[in-house]
Amino acid sequence: MKAENIFAEFEKDEISSSPEVFELNIVSGGCRLYGYLLTPDKRMGRPCPAVITSHGFPGYTTNNDLELALMRAGCAVIHMNHRGAWGSEGRYLFTNLKDDLVAITKWVCNPAIADQYGIDRDRVFLVGHSMGGQSVLNAAKELPFLRGVAALAAYDIGAAFRCGMEKDLFLMIETEGQCLKMNSAAEVYENARDHQEELGILNQCERLAEVPVLLVEAGLDTVAPADQMMRPLAEKLKALSAPVTCETIVSNHSFAGQRMKLARIVAEWMEKTAQ
């Protein structure tokens, strides 16, 4: 992996080595999740690190640019849509997100799958934005073999209820969630309320102590304020002497004006961690 290549391309593609895009469907909880897998140019070397990305709620803010940057750096990138989101089967519920990521990760680490796509099973990362940041952190607690997990402007449902932000959460579900498959906004909200403790990123955070963690906060974030949602986790991990790296980008929740800086931070941390 070469982080310096995130914005660099070969002069031309070659038939025998060019990057490829594969359509995927992976089963989680009896439902088919739809997405894609990007493989880097074979001139970057094989086997390559793998990155599994997790989109936020409901997924309007995409991370395709980050995914392509990591592909150019030499990573295989797996993008899957969670249950009930963007064509994937099933209903959208917050309690499904972690389980989806665990299922996807186990699929990637299947020896036959890893061989098929040239993936190094010892260098698998999770990267998530917003609600996806919460999801990858919670999944990593059950996947101690991961090489690392990166949470970008992570939303924390546990903190939302602790800090009196539950009305904002319901409004987000009711308005932004209209594109999702769900019985009702009330059902999704009640799923968050009833499972707030287990969904919270502070829950069992000691299980992250052996997994390298990157926390990137957005300094202008009003959706997932870092002082309420990410910094408490950072403080707990530091107290445990865990391998945590913390970065701040002065941007809004989507990092809309600082996407290149975001790509550099993630890629450079991955390159260092993958060695």
Pairwise CA distance, residues 118 & 196, whole Å: 38
CATH of the domain at 96: 3.40.50.1820
Per-residue pLDDT in tens (0 to 9) along the chain, 275 residues: 999 999 999 999 999 999 999 999 999 999 999 999 999 999 999 999 999 999 999 988 889 999 999 999 999 999 999 999 999 999 999 999 999 999 999 999 999 999 999 999 999 999 999 999 999 999 999 999 999 999 999 999 999 999 999 999 999 999 999 999 999 999 999 999 999 999 999 999 999 998 999 999 999 999 999 999 999 999 999 999 999 999 999 999 999 999 999 999 999 999 999 98
pLDDT score of 275: 86
Place of tokens 């309690």: 95
Q: How far is CA 65 from the centre of its chain?
A: 14
Inter-residue contact 33 to 80 (CB < 8 Å): yes
| Tally of domains in the chain | 1
Q: What are the beta bridge partners of residue 213?
A: 149, 244
Pairwise CA distance, residues 257 & 108, whole Å: 32
pLDDT score of 122: 96
For residue 180, what are the domain limits? 3-274
Pairwise CA distance, residues 57 & 174, whole Å: 11
Burial 169-185 (b: 16+ CB within 10 A, else e): bbebbeeebeebbbeeb
Q: How many residues does the chain have?
A: 275
What are the start-end ranges of the H helices in the chain?
64-72, 94-108, 111-117, 131-140, 157-162, 166-176, 185-194, 196-199, 226-229, 231-239, 259-274
Signed CA dihedral, 275, 53, 264, 48: sign only: positive
pLDDT tens string 28-71: 999 999 999 999 999 999 999 999 999 999 988 889 999 999 99
